[in-house]
Amino acid sequence: MVLFFILEQFASILLPGRLILAQLLAAFVAAPVSFALKSRLSPTPSRHADTFRNVAENNLDDFYIFEGIFDAAGEIVDFRFGFINLAAERRLRTPREQFLGKVLSEVRPYAVSSGVLERYKEVVRTGVPYVDEIFIDDDTIHATWIHIQAVKIGNNVAVTSRDFTERKKISDHVNFLAHYDQLTGLPNRTLLYARLNNDISRARRDNHKVAVLMVDVDHFKGINDTLGHAVGDALLSALAKRLLASVRETDTVARLGGDEFIIVLPDFKSMEEVDRCAQKILEAVSAPINIGDRLLVITVSIGLCIYPDSGLEVEQILQHADTAMYTVKANGRNGISPYSGQRRIASPLLPS
């Protein structure tokens, strides 16, 4: 264990990263491992084998050694379980003796379906370490996210893996809170800006256009004031679903805040296509919405801005869409209006 500590310190100073440490250990134990594999790590007086056994057995990460299986032409085709440490045995929930000597692809189908088996073969063929994060869901292990590191030892591969499922759940939740609206599940302002910036960049590169529609619920404050915020929230959630159903999978529907939604239509073919989408939204929204024991009928005002005709940057485009939306409000609501000054190449939409 002292030697392990020295190697760890050396790796942390000169060669940062757990993978580098794994390579150092693999290089150190390469010679005694061949003996250990043959004896299935049975007791041996070899000091090096004892050191390896202690390091591997007491590792908090799952640790395996897979022995290469070769065909008559010398090509590696599969692996056998050569060593399983205590941490890995606990994860398998089966005595490790039941796995030792078994063929990897036969007892762990996920190794084939996930592509891990092929990556292990590549490690043996090239000597290049393999690092990845994969999702496992099979009969031997509960659905789990694991971090894998594999290095070559002779014709075998040494693998360390660590379960980071809980950490990923926390990370995914934090990411959701940072990029999605908690009420509707739609992208929030942060993610909207990122996507719209990407859409604009692609449109600029490919000489395409991007349509941005700002959708605002008419008289929403009155609904909140008379029926309560719970009804208002339920209404916004229902509206979000209808907006999503009205656009393509490649389009973005985001909640800007309050009762304002943004719809981004990248790479549309014509203004007629934008008009049809906007009219579809107006029609979908106008259908009665069942909220508890109430049947609500609402309308929306939609402001339209086109990149690059009426704006070049995200903020400018959203401001112009907002201006166009208030033009609809000023003219009786329940309709759509393009940003003033925008050159239309199709007949304007009329309020429904």
- How many other C-beta atoms are found inside a 10 Å radius of the C-beta of residue 321? 28
Phi and psi (nearest 5°) for 216? -125, 130
Lowest mean pLDDT among 47-51, 62-66, 83-87, 158-162: 47-51
Q: Give the tokens for residue 52.
A: 């390896």
Same domain, 189 and 163: no
From residue 276, how far is each of 60, 208, 281, 326, 348 by CA, in Å? 59, 19, 9, 21, 11
Q: What confidence tens digit (pLDDT) does each residue in 212-258 have? A: 999 999 999 999 999 999 999 999 999 999 999 999 999 999 999 89
Q: What is the pTM of this model?
A: 0.59
Residue 15, pLDDT > 50, answer no
Q: Residue 345: pLDDT above 70?
A: no
Question: What are the pLDDT digits (tens) for 65-106?
Answer: 999 999 999 999 999 999 988 888 888 888 888 889 999 998
Task: Give the number of residues written for the chain.
Answer: 352
Residue where one domain finishes, among candidates 137, 168, 199: 168
The whole-angstrom distance between residue 22's C-alpha and the CA centroid of its chain comes to 28
Beta strands in 29-183 (DSSP E): 62-70, 76-84, 130-136, 144-153, 156-163
158 and 225 together in one domain: no
Q: Which residues of 226-239 are buried (b: 16+ CB within 10 A; e: fewer)?
A: ebeeebbebbbbbb
Distance of alpha carbon 51 from alpha carbon 6, whole angstroms: 13
308 within 8 A of 301, measured Cβ to Cβ: no
Within this chain, do residues 133 and 247 fall inside the same structural domain, yes or no?
Answer: no
Same domain? For 99 and 221 the reply is no
| Tokens read off for 273 | 């296509």
Q: Which residue segment(s) compose the domain that 286 sits in?
A: 180-338
Spatial separation of the C-alpha atoms in residues 6 and 4, rounded to whole Å: 5
Q: How many separate domains does the chain show? A: 2
pLDDT attached to residue 145: 84
Confidence of residue 350 (pLDDT cuts 50, 70, 90): very low
Shared domain for 268 and 189, answered yes or no, is yes
Tell which of 113, 138, 168 closes a domain. 168
In-domain check, residue 54: yes
CATH of residue 233's domain is 3.30.70.270
Percent of the chain with pLDDT over 70: 80
Does any domain span residue 346? no
| Residues 162 and 245 grouped into a single domain | no
Kindly state whether residue 103 falls inside one of the protein's structural domains: yes
Question: Any idea which residue has 């759940």 for tokens?
Answer: 169
Same-domain status, 238 and 276: yes
What H or E segment, with its residue span, contains residue 264? strand 260-266
For residue 248, give the DSSP letter: -
In a domain, 344, yes or no: no
Burial class of residue 278, CB neighbours in 10 A (0-12, 13-18, 19+): buried
**140 in any annotated domain:** yes
Q: Residues 226, 320: one domain?
A: yes
Residues 287 and 267 in one domain: yes
Domain check: are 71 and 150 in the same one? yes
